[in-house]
Structure 1
Amino acid sequence: MQFAVDYPGKIKGFVAGDYPAKSFVIKKDWIENLIARYKVHQTWEELYHAISPNKEIPPEEFAERKEEFYVKKEDGIHARVHKDLPMKLQMDSEDLDLTYGLDQIEGPVLLLRGEEKGTLIKEEEVLEFRRYHPSLKEELIAGSGHSVFDPKEQTESIFKDYFASLK
Structure 2
Amino acid sequence: MVDLGGGRYGLISGARRLAALSDLHAETGESRFAEIQCLIRSPEGAAGAYLAMVEENEIRADLSFYERGRLVAEAARMGLFEDPAAAARGLFANAPAARRSKILTFAGLHETLGAVLRFPAAIPERLGLALAAALKSDPGLAGRLAERCAKAPPPMPRPNAGPWNGR
When normalised by structure 1's length, the TM-score is 0.33
Greater C-alpha radius of gyration? 1
Structure holding more strand per residue: 1
Structure holding more helix per residue: 2
When normalised by structure 2's length, the TM-score is 0.33
Tell which has more relative contact order, 1 or 2 (C-alpha 8 A, sep 6+).
1
